[in-house]
Amino acid sequence: MLTKEQLYIKLVIYSLGRSREFILSHYDEELAEKVTEKYPEIKTMLEFTLLTILPEMELKLSQEIEALCDELMFSVRRLHNVLGEYNFAIKEIPIWIEKFENVLKSNH
């Protein structure tokens, strides 16, 4: 049986993967640049998604997972436009998914 912490990690992995899929299916680099020119400072969809799945206070996470989640949110909060989010989806999300998958594997 999976623990709440393992389920949470799976939720983060799933959310990152689906967010990446959504971003890359809606933008290419040229369109991301055009949207960024029109709206240079906006909250990103990825930040909103991750904020909505932050654990409730009653879910106690290990320090390792809390630190990883904090690091992810710090990285996502630095994104201020669609082009940044697009580039993050291409380059960084696969790395973050791998980090969370490694934590999940080490907890089995």
- Residue-range domain boundaries for the chain: 13-53+62-106
Asked if residue 34 has pLDDT above 80, the reply is yes
Q: State the alpha helices, DSSP H only, in the chain.
A: 4-26, 29-38, 45-52, 63-77, 82-91, 93-106
- Examine the pLDDT at 28 and tell me if it is beyond 60: yes
In angstroms, rounded to a whole number, what is the distance separating the alpha carbons of residues 108 and 105?
A: 6
Structure confidence by residue, pLDDT tens digits, 73-105:
999 999 999 999 999 999 999 999 999 999 999
Q: pLDDT tens digit string along 72-81?
A: 999 999 999 9
Q: What is the pLDDT of residue 58?
A: 63
Q: Cα–Cα distance between 12 and 97 in angstroms, integer?
A: 8
CA separation for the pair 103, 99 (Å, rounded): 6
Above pLDDT 70, what percent of the chain?
94
